[in-house]
Amino acid sequence: MPAAKNSIHELFAYLCVPDTQKAIDFYAEAFGAVELFRLTEPSGRIGHAELQMGPSAVLMLNDPFPEFGIVPPPPEGIPGVKIHLHVDNCDEMLRSAIAAGGKQLSEPADQFYGERSCKVLDPFGHTWLLGHSIEKLTPQEMQRRYTELMKA
């Protein structure tokens, strides 16, 4: 693998939502997020907000800015785009997300790659994968299991 000319220090999910305040409330209730700060226009539109999610994850949010091409996804979500939260217990986190207004997309289930996981759609059109480790696997063992799964 070639050496990078610049180092990447962090990766952030940055979501446009139809109503940032409602999203902050949802993510706080569903996932335990804590607001770090926000930048608000005089009109009240939130241009930027940051939420702490666990010890090392920061989620960035903003209201729509269609004049700059910044629009939220449709309520049913965007195919191919998902956010993964690695949590202590995906079953409990799913219950919390549903209680906060999320829509369950899949039941929690043990997966071939050593994780128990499920999917939830938030009220703003973003799909969240919730998962926790159930066993430590090598990439080779994951590949073996994946190959077997695909043969079935």
Mind listing the pLDDT tens digit for each residue in 62-95? Answer: 999 999 999 999 988 888 889 999 999 999 999 9
- Provide the CATH number for the domain around residue 67: 3.10.180.10
Query: What is the predicted pLDDT for the residue at 8?
Result: 78
1 part of a folded domain? no
Res. 1: pLDDT tops 80: no
3 part of a folded domain? no
Q: 80: closest CA among 113, 129, 40?
A: 129
100 part of a folded domain? yes
- Structural domain boundaries, residue 23: 13-151
6 part of a folded domain? no
Radius of gyration of the chain (CA): 18
64 part of a folded domain? yes
7 part of a folded domain? no
Q: CB of 46 within 8 A of CB of 64?
A: no
pTM over 0.85: yes
How many domains does the chain divide into? 1
